[in-house]
Amino acid sequence: MKIVLSETLSYCFGVRKTLETTARLLADRPDRTYCMLGDIVHNEHVIEGLKAKGLRVVQALDEVPPGGVVILQSHGSARDRYRELERRGLEYIDATCPMVKIIHERIRAVEREGRTPVVIGQAGHEEVRGIVGQVARAIVVKSPDEVEPELFAGVRRAGIVAQSTFVEAEARRIVERVRALVPDTVFHDTICRPTKTRQREVEAHTPGADWVVVIGSRHSANTRHLFNIARALNPRTHLIDRPEGVDDIAIPADATVFIASGASTPGELIDEVVRRLEARGGASGRKDGRP
Ligand code: SF4
């Protein structure tokens, strides 16, 4: 079995920075209560590890104890949330990824220019809620089919941004459909570079692989997108969120397996999947024991 590893694996810089900041806070100030509002990253293993180090998970600001410090998630928050934190006098650490902050700035600029803000992304996803929450009103679409004339009735000028982890090709199809309805449309391509790099690597390697294993949480949008891109090119594509999952995939001894991962997948999890495949006779060509 030949194991081919994607060039880009494990955390993107945004997730890494958020996790490092959180771990440092927990280690440096054990006397303080740090509260995570929702999941600061989309990976259950990582969250469980932080909880074990003392991080408290809260779903609402009401649950923050007196003196508690709120850590805001890497995928960003709506303006209302900052206002509410200040109204309550709560201390907070803003762990929003710089790439997401750029999306917030772009959509506010779209509104200032008098254009109708349009967000390409999954309505209800926290990042999209945070982006939409930067402006008074925005249209959200996640597929070309959703770009219906009724939705854009009365829109004369539009400005589009995309969720940072959206699929590049699909975003461009959506933009084309919007432009067919609203010719005066500008598109700010805000899909982040780490997302594009991973998507391109999956597109490049999947056709040459017999099997594809994408490692990451099903709750992670970028992981699901990688899976869908690979699955469209190769039906023998599997998404696993824990190392044992690879044991259930019947990969023949002479197969080539391509491994990809989401941007919030820990390196140890990827290492363990590779170890398990190597134990079944796979050769990954790794020199230092890490992907
Ligand atoms: S996927 Fe992109 S936007 Fe999201 S945390 Fe990573 S670098 Fe930032």
DSSP string, 117-135: EEEES-TT-HHHHHHHTTS
pLDDT of residue 289: 40
- Share of residues in the chain with pLDDT > 70 (%): 98
Q: Are residues 181 and 103 in the same domain?
A: yes
- Beta-bridge partner residues of 188: 161
282 lines ligand 1 (CB under 6 A): no
User: Residue 171 burial by CB count (10 A; 0-12/13-18/19+): exposed, middle or buried?
Assistant: buried
List all residues 6 or more positions away from 153 whose beta carbon is below 8 Å from its beta carbon.
Answer: none
What is the phi/psi pair of residue 175, to 5°? -60, -45
Coil, strand or helix at 285: coil
Which residue from 16, 19, 195 has its CB within 8 A of the most atoms of ligand 1, so it is best to mutate?
195
pLDDT (tens digit per residue) in 200-257? 999 999 999 999 999 999 888 899 999 999 999 999 999 999 999 999 999 998 999 9
What is the distance between the alpha carbons of residues 207 and 214, in angstroms, rounded to a whole number? 14
Residue 275 reports pLDDT greater than 50: yes
Q: Are residues 180 and 208 in the same domain?
A: no
What is the distance between the alpha carbons of residues 116 and 29, in angstroms, rounded to a whole number? 45
pLDDT band at 285 (very low <50, low <70, confident <90, very high): low
Which residue from 11, 99, 165, 198 has its CB within 8 A of the most atoms of ligand 1, so it is best to mutate?
99
Residue 264: domain span? 2-11+194-279
Flag whether 170 is in a domain.
yes
Residue 264 reports pLDDT greater than 50: yes
Flag whether 288 is in a domain.
no
User: Hey, what are 190's tokens?
Assistant: 């805000």
Q: Are residues 251 and 201 in the same domain?
A: yes
- Beta-bridge partner residues of 21: none
**Candidates 105, 127, 146, 203; catalytic one:** 127
- Of all protein residues, the one whose alpha carbon is nearest to atom 7 of ligand 1 is 14
pLDDT of residue 286: 59
177-207 burial by CB neighbour count: b if 16+ within 10 A, else e? bbbeebeebbbebbbbebbbebbebbbebbe
Q: Are residues 116 and 93 in the same domain?
A: no
- Beta-bridge partner residues of 256: 2
CB 256 within 8 A of CB 5: no
In the predicted model, what is the mean pLDDT of the chain? Answer: 93
Last residue of a domain, one of 156, 191, 226: 191
Q: Which of 212, 235, 239, 236 is nearest to 225 (CA)?
A: 239
Flag whether 137 is in a domain.
yes
Q: Span 154-168, mean pLDDT? A: 97
What is the phi/psi pair of residue 139, to 5°? -95, 135
Q: Are residues 60 and 20 in the same domain?
A: yes
Residue 287 reports pLDDT greater than 60: no
Q: Are residues 75 and 108 in the same domain?
A: no
Q: 């594509």: which residue's tokens?
A: 237
Query: Minimum mean pLDDT among 33-42, 59-68, 242-251, 259-268: which range?
Result: 33-42
Q: Span 13-35, mean pLDDT? A: 92
Q: What is the CATH number of the domain that holds 158?
A: 3.40.1010.20
Last residue of a domain, one of 191, 217, 244: 191
Number of domains in the chain: 3
What is the distance between the alpha carbons of residues 222 and 260, in angstroms, rounded to a whole number? 11
What is the distance between the alpha carbons of residues 14 and 173, in angstroms, rounded to a whole number? 27
Residue 28 reports pLDDT greater than 70: yes
* Higher pLDDT, residue 147 or 43: 147
10 lines ligand 1 (CB under 6 A): no
Which of 29-43, 217-231, 277-291 reaches the highest mean pLDDT? 217-231
pLDDT of residue 290: 46
74 lines ligand 1 (CB under 6 A): yes
CB 215 within 8 A of CB 257: no
Please give the number of the atom of ligand 1 that sits closest to the Cα of 192. Answer: 2
Q: What is the CATH number of the domain that holds 39?
A: 3.40.50.11270
Last residue of a domain, one of 191, 215, 247: 191
Provide the phi-psi class of 73: left if phi over 0, else alpha when psi is between -120 and 50, else beta.
beta
Q: Are residues 67 and 117 in the same domain?
A: no
Whether 113 is catalytic is no
pLDDT of residue 47: 86
